[in-house]
Amino acid sequence: MASKRQIWVKDVPIGGGAPVAVQTMTKTETANLGATMEQIGKVAEAGADIVRVAVPRDKDVEALKTIVRDSPIPVIADIHFNHTLALKAIDAGAHCVRLNPGNIGGREKVAEVAERANAVGVPMRIGVNSGSLPKHLHELERSNPVEALVTAAVEFVEMMESLEFENFKVSIKSTNVPNTIAANRMLAEKIPYPLHLGITEAGTKWSGSLKSAVGLGTLLADGVGDTIRISLSTFHAEEEVKVAWEILKALHLRERGPVLIACPTCGRLQFDMDSVVAEIEQRLESYEDPIEVAVLGCAVNGIGEASHADFGITGAKNEGLIFAHGKPLRKVPQEQLVDTLFEEIDKSVDRGKVDVDATKAAEGAEWLAKIEEENAGELTPERIAQMEKEAAEAEGRDPITEPFLKPVKAKQVELDEEASPTAGRRFTRA
């Protein structure tokens, strides 16, 4: 369920059914205007809807004025411990202020910030982090960390409401993935405000992306979460944005740019797919259309598995095939596969349709049919999957929810102890 309330961070709606907004945070010293603006440019190009900058010093607030003016996307000022900086950030034109009411120095100070934000219509992100919960919740945190996080968040929400400030979104952050999932699910039931999702200190690009995909993906699949930030230990904030988009694209929540699908490869692979896939992925980054491109490691199965893709390639020893929407387009020498694929993609982007040369397509189809025929008996992963699907359908099973064969009654077997003295007996070695 999407949050009932919606807020706007400049021109980006958050919550209330708006598309899940992608945000990230710059890793530069905010006061270093050149470096910060360069990074904001990169994250905006990668698809960030909103960017957050740390504002720990007065010189960062000074820089914020220029950043807000020049940034192509809305800017959130990230403030901790110092409510004066929050007030100054609002005056500097920040499009949103992030603060944790628990570490800003008491209700009066939060009230001052809320009043200033209300006066100019600036929203806030209020949040709680595991590890910095109010003292009165420490005991609960030891016995039930999820409930402690949610209780703290609800208390802060009530505090903001009592200050007549309701223009906010809420975040609960934890390094623990199951706790993040459970806490956000529980919080979504209790409050109508938009939720910001993230896994704190998720880790390196590899492990952090996986943890985020599991944690945030689970919540988003349930309809919980209105804006996301992937926290990765990398200076390149645009990497966080790319991961966020992959999660949203995988869940079909948002569309942006091409989708690359590739077979996992196996012993039938007949070309250097690692480098081919990497090159295709990198070249696709410059395309904006949501083209689906498939890469198959061999032509043994034909192209049925990837017939939904807009374009694809499959290779054999010396040659490979370019296909589109399940139909062969042309066969080419293997070293020309990638360049020819992109030639075909470019032609279709320019003309708005796939260009089919009937002679070349027929040659490609013939080549493919020959390979399929030569390998008709091969039990490839795709054919095994197809056989399992057919068997399930024949038995009236759902291949997804009932993947296994129905149990059959075991036959009674007569043991021939002379032929095999240990048959049917368990024994242990001394």
**Contact residues: ligand SF4, CB under 6 A:** 263-266, 268-269, 296-298, 300-301, 380-382
d(CA 247, CA 259): 12
Q: How far is the CB of 371 from ligand SF4 (least distance, A)?
A: 11
Phi, psi dihedral angles at 173 (to 5 degrees): -115, 135
Residues 6+ apart with CB under 8 A from 116: 87, 90, 91, 122
Count of C-beta atoms within a 10 Å radius of residue 206? 9
Q: How far is the CB of 366 from ligand SF4 (least distance, A)?
A: 20
> In Å, how far are 315, 363, 376, 389 from 371, measured between CA atoms?
10, 13, 8, 24
> In Å, how far are 47, 65, 194, 219 from 251, measured between CA atoms?
17, 37, 19, 11
Count of C-beta atoms within a 10 Å radius of residue 394? 8
Among 110, 212, 93, smallest CA distance to 156 is for: 110
Closer residue to ligand SF4, CB minimum distance, 266 or 349: 266
Closer residue to ligand SF4, CB minimum distance, 239 or 382: 382
Q: With left for phi above 0 and alpha for psi between -120 and 50, is residue 164 left, alpha or beta?
A: left
Closer residue to ligand SF4, CB minimum distance, 67 or 341: 341
Strands 292-296 vs 259-262: parallel, antiparallel or unpaired: parallel
Q: With left for phi above 0 and alpha for psi between -120 and 50, is residue 251 left, alpha or beta?
A: alpha
Q: How far is the CB of 258 from ligand SF4 (least distance, A)?
A: 20
DSSP state of 429: -
Q: How far is the CB of 404 from ligand SF4 (least distance, A)?
A: 23
Q: How far is the CB of 278 from ligand SF4 (least distance, A)?
A: 16
Closer residue to ligand SF4, CB minimum distance, 213 or 273: 273
Residues 6+ apart with CB under 8 A from 115: 163, 165
Q: CB of 128 within 8 A of CB of 102?
A: yes
- Which single residue is written with the structure tokens 């880790």? 203
Closer residue to ligand SF4, CB minimum distance, 71 or 380: 380
Provide the sign of the torsion angle of the four alpha carbons 55, 209, 16, 182, taken in this order. negative
Closer residue to ligand SF4, CB minimum distance, 165 or 271: 271
Phi, psi dihedral angles at 94 (to 5 degrees): -55, 140
Among 182, 187, 198, smallest CA distance to 144 is for: 182
Closer residue to ligand SF4, CB minimum distance, 185 or 383: 383
Closer residue to ligand SF4, CB minimum distance, 193 or 323: 323
Q: How far is the CB of 340 from ligand SF4 (least distance, A)?
A: 19
Closer residue to ligand SF4, CB minimum distance, 60 or 382: 382
Closer residue to ligand SF4, CB minimum distance, 376 or 410: 376
Residue whose C-beta lies closest to ligand SF4: 297
Q: How far is the CB of 328 from ligand SF4 (least distance, A)?
A: 16
Measured at the CA of 122, the angle between CA 63 and CA 35, to 5 degrees, comes to 25
Closer residue to ligand SF4, CB minimum distance, 77 or 296: 296
Count of C-beta atoms within a 10 Å radius of residue 322? 25
d(CA 136, CA 142): 12
